[in-house]
Amino acid sequence: MKKNTLFLILICFFLLSAAKSVMAIGVGVKPKELNIKTEIGKAAETEILIINPSDEPAFYSVSADNLKRKITISPVDFLLEPNSSRIAVVIVKSWIPCKFNDNISVVSRPVNHTGLTAASGVKVPIVITAMDIPFWWIILEIVIGSCLIIFFMVKLRKKRNNKIIK
C-alpha cells in the first residue's frame, strides 16, 4: 500500500514538474447573487457585470447550471481584455408558479496558453420566484370581456333591426 502511494506521488510530481508553466485567469462578478420575481408566462430581465481583473485577456463562458430552459443568458461566450468588464443579460421565464434555486456559472480561460492551464470560475446563486396571476385580475378580465361581448351583440342587433325596418 505504501509503495503504491509513493509511486502515485512520484508520478504526480513528475507530471507537474514537466509542465513548463501553469496559468490561471481571474474573474469578478457583480452582483454576488440574483433574486428575480416574475409572473407566470412573463419574462423578467436583469444584468450581471463580469470583470477581468487580471493583466491578460481571457475567454469567458456564462451559463445556468440546471434551469437552462427557464434561464437565457446573452452573450454566452466572449473575450475580455485585461482590466475590462462586460454586461451579460439574464432573462428568466417560467410557466409554473414556484420558487426555483440555481447557479449561474462564469468560467474564465486564458487566451494564450501553453502547457498546463487552469480555468477559474464563480457561481452566482439565483433565486427565481414565479408568481401566479392574482385572482382579482382574472375576474376583472372576465368581466371586461363579458361587457365587450354584450356591447357588440347589442350593437349588432340594433343594426339588424334597422335593416329590417328599412
Domain-wise residue ranges, the chain: 21-153
Instruction: Over range 115-144, report the average pLDDT.
Output: 82
Residue by residue, DSSP assigns 65-83 as SS-TTTEEEE-SEEEE-TT
Q: pTM here?
A: 0.63
H-run or E-run covering 125: strand 120-131
Answer whether 127's CB lies under 8 Å from 103's CB: no
The more confidently predicted of residues 132 and 52 is 52
Lowest mean pLDDT segment, chosen from 29-43, 69-83, 84-98, 122-136: 122-136
How confident is the model at residue 50, as a pLDDT?
92
What's the whole-number average pLDDT of the chain? 82
How confident is the model at residue 23, as a pLDDT?
46
Q: Domain 21-153 - what CATH class?
A: mainly beta
In the numeric block, the cell 361587457 is attached to 147
pLDDT > 70 in the chain, percent: 82
**What does the pLDDT look like over 13-56, one tens digit per residue?**
555 555 444 445 678 898 889 999 988 888 899 999 999 888 88
